[in-house]
A and B are shown apart, each in its own frame.
Chain A
Amino acid sequence: MAPKKNSAKRPQPSTPKPSAPARIVKVQSSDGHILQADVRALLLSSTLAATIKGYDDENKPLEKLEVNNVVGFTLKLVLEWCEKHKEDDPAIAQAEKDKKNIFIPSWDRHFLTKLPMGNLFDLITAAYHLDITGLINYGCKTVANSAKGKSTEEMRELFGIPEPWEQPSTSTATWDD
């Protein structure tokens, strides 16, 4: 895949290093879709990284990884995100560990905000199951940013909560502006 333009102000690999040919494996979703991915991208998932290591340690050929809790549509989004970030400087992940200074790069902002909220929640949940810290953080921060400044009713809509509930009149001031 040709590298996409990324204007985010974050560390980027300075010069592309001549690298070994990509090691491509098949990844199967819970609903039977089979996708292909570069192993370097899959290593962003701690869960998949452990599985891949298991194969490598035993010198077993890795032909197909099964992801039993993510459907094909969402898995495709996960793999697209991982592909985009497979060459990220590990210092970024280290710096974002404490979640205090998380900056969402422009590519990710565009990628995440264009998704309908339901798909975004599915993507975050998949990132949680696959243990992809960066995607969890960017996704959750995108949801939090979407909720900012919304009224309770608008939030109910955002989170797909069906009906209002009877709450005590004395509950905390709503901070509606």
Chain B
Amino acid sequence: MEMPELVMENIIWFSDFRSVLKLRQVCRKFRDFIDDLNDSKLPDSKFANIEVISKKDENEITLFLVEPKDSHRSFHSIEYSESENSRSFNEKITNLGNSNIVDVAIRDLEWVLKFQKSNLNRLHFEFDDFQLQNDSSLYTLPFKLSNMLNVSGRKIKTRELSIKTYNKSHIMSILPFADSETLKTLDFCSFDPEMEIEIDEIAKTEQWKKANTLKCDFHLLNLNVEDICHFSSIDLKVDSITAGDLDFLRKAYISSSNFERLRFDLKLFNEQVELSNIWGPAFDSQLAIIWYFRIKDSEEKVLRIEIFYYNMIPRVYYATCFSIIELRSVLNGAILHDYNEN
């Protein structure tokens, strides 16, 4: 059947994502036509979340595609098994012949991304530790993904980027390919709770600078507080923090219009005396030492700074929290410091 290109383009535009992928398999002519079509002429796959997960125990990669809430089904799962050398989707198992499953999984993801026009709520990657699995090629997943994203020149529009890994270099394999105008939340999680990371390179990216929420499960080394004070919500692990850095953050947040909360898990903190010298005596709630500060241009809101401790001898401080609270929540007997940007 001879159809003008515009007609074929229109039929594809009005089709859904699944139909176009099936149309691609109808004949070589359709496949070539769809493959040559500019992404802007393809329909939107409209997924809400995409997750790419590699699992060491099962030696497999899973691609989870989560539909928006109002769709008739909730998610699709495609499993790529290295031991079976197969792809499993909707109970249909395809033998992948001589193909490498990492390559196949990445090509499938590339197709999904080609169709994804609406912003994702969450893009999640989980890169398990395959270093000791000598016969597995699954360790190549992060680098091959990075290559694919680099070659496609596509920036993925997602509100949240979440990466769980055993190797901190994987963060930079993916982070630069998120669209910084869309990205709001960064969530970095480690398979090893003791793993440490330096954020020099990461903090230089546009994605880091423009995001407003940071959750990081790695222990941050050599944290420069100037790199994080633009976030409105922060969860971090650090070895320790100085009284000077906490005061820098206090000054930033009493003048900020969008700050909400910060929590640092600390391995060690012993500058409580220095803090009292700068901020005056703390209020002791028996769980934490607390200071309250009025914030700029607000009569109702107050910045609360808490440093939590285990009541041992000597005391062990384990976390600090900054949060914006209502004036009425200031504890009786505590001092409320006036707004002073110095």
Contacts and interface: CB of A to CB of B under 8 A. Distances in A.
B313 interface: no
A170 B26 contact: no
B99 interface: yes
A155 interface: yes
A110 interface: no
A36 interface: no
A140 B11 contact: yes
The range of chain A's interface size is: 35 or more
Contacts of B108: 172-173
A165 B28 contact: yes
A151 B23 CA distance: 9
B97 A170 contact: yes
A121 B21 contact: no
Contacts of B95: 169
Interface in A155-174: 155-156, 159-161, 165, 167, 169-174
A102 B11 CA distance: 13
B27 A144 contact: no
Contacts of B17: 175
Given A144-B11, A161-B27, A172-B111, A121 B1 contact: yes
Nearest to B29: A161
Given A128-B4, A175-B21, A140 B10 contact: yes
B23 A147 contact: yes
B315 interface: no
B11 A155 contact: no
B337 interface: no
A165 B22 CA distance: 13
Contacts of B11: 140, 143-144, 147
Interface SS, A side? loop
B97 A156 contact: no
Contacts of A125: 2-4, 7
Contact of A136 (B7, B30, B96): B7
A174 B95 CA distance: 14
B19 A147 contact: yes
A170 B27 contact: no
Most chain B CB inside 10 Å of its own CB: which residue of A141, A149, A173: A173
B205 interface: no
A120 to B, nearest CB: 11
Contacts of A149: 19
A162 B18 CA distance: 22
Contacts of B87: 170, 173
B27 A165 contact: yes
Interface string B23-66: 11111101100000000000000000000000000000000000
B26 A136 contact: no
Contacts of B89: 173-175
B10 A173 contact: no
A158 B28 CA distance: 16
B26 A161 contact: yes
Contacts of A141: 10, 14
Contacts of B25: 152, 167, 171-172, 174
A171 to B, nearest CB: 6
Contacts of A41: none
A161 B33 CA distance: 15
28 contacts: A140-B10, A140-B13, A141-B14, A143-B14, A144-B12, A144-B13, A147-B11, A147-B19, A147-B22, A149-B19, A150-B22, A155-B26, A159-B1, A161-B26, A167-B25, A169-B94, A169-B97, A169-B99, A170-B94, A170-B97, A170-B99, A173-B89, A173-B94, A173-B108, A174-B25, A175-B17, A175-B22, A176-B90
Interface of A: 99, 102, 121, 124-125, 128-129, 136-137, 140-141, 143-145, 147-152, 155-156, 159-161, 165, 167, 169-177
Given A121-B1, A159-B26, A173-B94, 7 more contacts: A125-B7, A136-B6, A140-B13, A144-B12, A159-B30, A169-B97, A172-B25
Interface of B: 1-4, 6-7, 10-19, 21-28, 30-31, 76, 78, 87, 89-90, 92, 94-97, 99, 103-104, 107-108, 111
